[in-house]
Structure 1
Amino acid sequence: MKSNTNTKLIFFHPSIHTKQNNNNGVSLSSHRLWFIFFLSFFTLAFTLTLINSTLPTHHLHSSAAAAAAFSSSAPLPPSVADALLHYASLANSSAAGAASGGHMSSAEVESIAAALRHCSPACNFLIFGLTHESLLWQALNHNGCSVFLDESEFLVSRFEQSHPGIEAYDVQYTTKVKDFPELLSAAKSQVKDECRPVQNLLFSDCKLGINDLPNHIYQVPWDVILVDGPRGYFPAAPGRMSAIFTAGVLSRSKKGGGVSKTHVFVHDFGREVERIFSDEFLCPENLVETVDSLGHFLLETMEIQRFQFCANSTASFSNSPSSSGNEDDDDVDVV
C-alpha cells in the first residue's frame, strides 16, 4: 500500500489560544464596566427624582417665599413708590420743615394710619380733599379701596393723570362758609325728612347732602372717612359743612362689611365751622380723641327709624365764621 506522503500536520501553538482568550476577556470586562456605570447612573438619577417628587410642598413654598423676601429685584407697589418719591421731593424742597404749610403733623398722620391698620388688610377709605398726604393715604391702603373727592376738577384730572389707577372725583359744592348758620338751621328743621341721619343721599334734597357722586359711592361700607377739604378758611369758600354732614350720614347708613363702626376724621377741627358741624352731625359722645388740629370720631350704624344725629343737640355759633389757624392749612395743590 502506497502511503500518502503529502499529509500535513497542523499544530496550534498554545500562545495563540491564550492571546485570543485574553482578548475576549478584556472585551467582556470592558463591556461589563460600562454597563454597570450606566446602570448606576440611571439608578441614582431615578432615586433623586423620586425623592424630590415626594418632598412636602410646604418646604418648597417656604424656600420660594424666602427667596422672594430677600430678592432685591422685587418691585415696590406703584402707590408706595409714588409716595416715597413725593415725600422725598418735599423733604428736599423744604429746609427743616420750614414753609411746609398744609402738611399734617406726624401725630395726626399716625392717628389716621392706626385706624387704617385696624381694618387692615383692606379698608374702604373715603377722603374729602386732595392734599400733600393724598399719596400717603393711597399707599397706606394700597390693598383696599381709596376714593378722593375734591372741589377742583382741574386738580382731580391732573392727579389721576399723574397717578394712574387712583380713583378721584370732583364735587360741585353749592355752599359757602358765610351761610353756615342758615344751612345748619335748615338741616335741623328737616332732620326727620330730607336731612335725616339714615338715608341714601343719592335721592336726597337736603342742602347739606352731597348727592351728585357716582352711584357706587353711596353703596360702599366706608371704614374710614377723612374730611380735609374743601377750602373753609374764608367766607366765600365752600366750607366743610356738606362734607361733615355727608360723612355722618354715610357712617350711620352703612350696610354690609364686617365692621359696623366708621372712623371719621375732621382736620382743622379747631375752626368754628368744623367744630360746630362736627358737634351737630358727628356728636361729642362719639369723639374719641383730638390730636393737634385733628378730631377723631367713631360712629356706629343707626336704625332707619332714628331721626336724631346726637343724644343732645347743643350747637351754638357766632354770626361770622372764625378762621382760627393758618389760612394755608388746607387745600394745598398736590404734586
Structure 2
Amino acid sequence: MKPKNQSSQKNLKSITILTLFFLFILYLILRPNFSPFQPIKIPHSLSICNKIPHSLSESLIHYATTKAIPIQNITEISVTWRVLEDLSPCNFLVFGLGLDSLMWASLNHGGRTVFLEESDGWMRLVKEQMPSLEMYHVVYDTKVTQAIQLLQIGKSKDCQTVSDPRYSKCPLALKNLPEEVYDTEWDLIMVDAPTAWDPTKPGRMKAIYTSGLLARNKRDGETHVFVHDIERAVENKFSRAFLCEGYEREEVGRLGHFVIPSHRSGFGRPFCP
C-alpha cells in the first residue's frame, strides 16, 4: 500500500494538468474569429466536382462513337498540337472543315477557332452535328490548272508587297473572306483546303498566299502556318514561294510547318528572308 502523502501529490498533479487543459480549450473558444467547426476550404482548382468543359465532352463523345478517321495521321497532328500546347488559348484559323475540326477546336479550348469551308452543303451537314463550331462559307474562283500562271504572277511587285489582303493589289489575295478573318490577329493558320487533288478543283494557291499575307500583316509577333499535303507539287511550290523556305520550321509526313514573323515591326524586311 502506497503512503498517503504520495497519493495526495498525485491527485494534485492530475488536477493541475486537467485545469491547464481546460484553460487551453477555453482560450481557443474565446479567441477572436475562431470556430471549432469551421470547414476546411478546398481551392476551386483542386475540386473534384469540376465539370468537363462542354467542347471537350462533345469531342470525346464524337470521336468515341464514330468510325471516321481524320485525314492527318497522329504524327502530323502532333506537330500542330505541340504548338497549341504552348499558345492556347489562342486564335486559330483553319482553311477547311473536316473530320478533325472538332478536335482542333477542343485542343484550342478557351480560344477562338474559325473554319473556312468551300462546300455550303457539307458545312450545313457539319453544323447540324457540331453546332458549337464557328464556320464560314468561302467561294474560290481558281482552278488547279491555273497554278503555273498564278505562280508567275506571284513574283510581281504587287504580290511581294505586304498589306492587308482586302486592299492588296495582288490577284492571289483572297478579298471575299469574312471581316472577322482580316480583323483578327491569328496565332496559327492551317491550310488544308480548298479541294486540290483534281485539276478542275480550286486548289490552295490563294489560301497559301493569303495565309502568308495575314501572318506578315500581324501587328506583332509570329504566326505558325501549317500546310497539309505539302508533298504535292502545287502546295509545295506555293508554300516555298510565299511562306518562304527561310521561314520553314519542319516538314513531317505531309505537313509543312512555317513560322512567319510580323513584317510591320521590321522596316524594309524582304518578303522572304
Shared fold, TM over 0.5: yes
Q: 1:142-175, CA deviations, whole angstroms, 9 ceiling, x for partnerless residues?
A: 1111110111122223333433332111110001
Structure with greater Cα Rg: 1
Aligned to 2:62: 86
Aligned length: 246
Q: CA deviation at 1:47?
A: 5.3
| 1:295 aligned onto 2:256 | yes
CA distance in 1, matches of 2:224, 2:142: 25
| 1:113 aligned onto 2:81 | yes
Aligned to 2:146: 179
Q: Is the 1:202–1:215 contact (alpha carbons within 8 Å) kept by the matching residues of 2?
A: no
Shift in CA distance, 119/197, structure 1 to aligned 2, threshold 3 Å = farther
Residue 252 of structure 2 aligns with an amino acid whose one-letter code is V
CA distance in 1, matches of 2:242, 2:59: 33
Q: Percent identity?
A: 37
Q: CA deviation at 1:285?
A: 1.2
Aligned to 2:3: none
Shift in CA distance, 234/76, structure 1 to aligned 2, threshold 3 Å = same
Aligned to 1:250: 214
Aligned to 2:101: 134
CA distance in 1, matches of 2:150, 2:65: 41
CA distance in 2, matches of 1:123, 1:104: 21
CA distance in 2, matches of 1:126, 1:276: 22
| 1:217 aligned onto 2:160 | no
Q: Is the 2:162–2:271 contact (alpha carbons within 8 Å) kept by the matching residues of 1?
A: no
Shift in CA distance, 160/49, structure 1 to aligned 2, threshold 3 Å = farther
Q: Is the 1:218–1:250 contact (alpha carbons within 8 Å) kept by the matching residues of 2?
A: yes
Aligned residue for 1:85, secondary structure, equals helix
Q: 1:70-89, CA deviations, whole angstroms, 9 ceiling, x for partnerless residues?
A: 22xx4322211222122212
Q: How does 1:29-178 map to 2 (within 5 A)?
A: 50-52=33-35, 60-62=41-43, 64-66=44-46, 68=47, 70-71=48-49, 74-90=50-66, 93=67, 100=69, 103-120=71-88, 122-178=89-145
Superposition RMSD in Å: 2.7
Shift in CA distance, 212/170, structure 1 to aligned 2, threshold 3 Å = same
Question: Which among 222, 236, 253 is matched to residue 200 of structure 2?
Answer: 236
TM-score normalized with structure 2 length = 0.81
CA distance in 2, matches of 1:176, 1:287: 26
CA distance in 1, matches of 2:211, 2:74: 24
Aligned residue for 1:154, secondary structure, equals helix
Q: Is the 1:128–1:226 contact (alpha carbons within 8 Å) kept by the matching residues of 2?
A: yes
Stretches of structure 1 lacking an aligned partner (at least 5 in a row)? 1-42, 95-99, 312-335
Shift in CA distance, 103/48, structure 1 to aligned 2, threshold 3 Å = farther
Shift in CA distance, 306/47, structure 1 to aligned 2, threshold 3 Å = same
Shift in CA distance, 60/178, structure 1 to aligned 2, threshold 3 Å = same
Q: CA deviation at 1:177?
A: 0.4
Residue 269 of structure 1 aligns with an amino acid whose one-letter code is I
CA distance in 2, matches of 1:126, 1:48: 59
Q: 1:208-231, CA deviations, whole angstroms, 9 ceiling, x for partnerless residues?
A: 111112223112111111111111
Q: Is the 2:55–2:132 contact (alpha carbons within 8 Å) kept by the matching residues of 1?
A: no
Shift in CA distance, 150/307, structure 1 to aligned 2, threshold 3 Å = farther
Aligned to 2:243: 282
Residue 138 of structure 1 aligns with an amino acid whose one-letter code is A
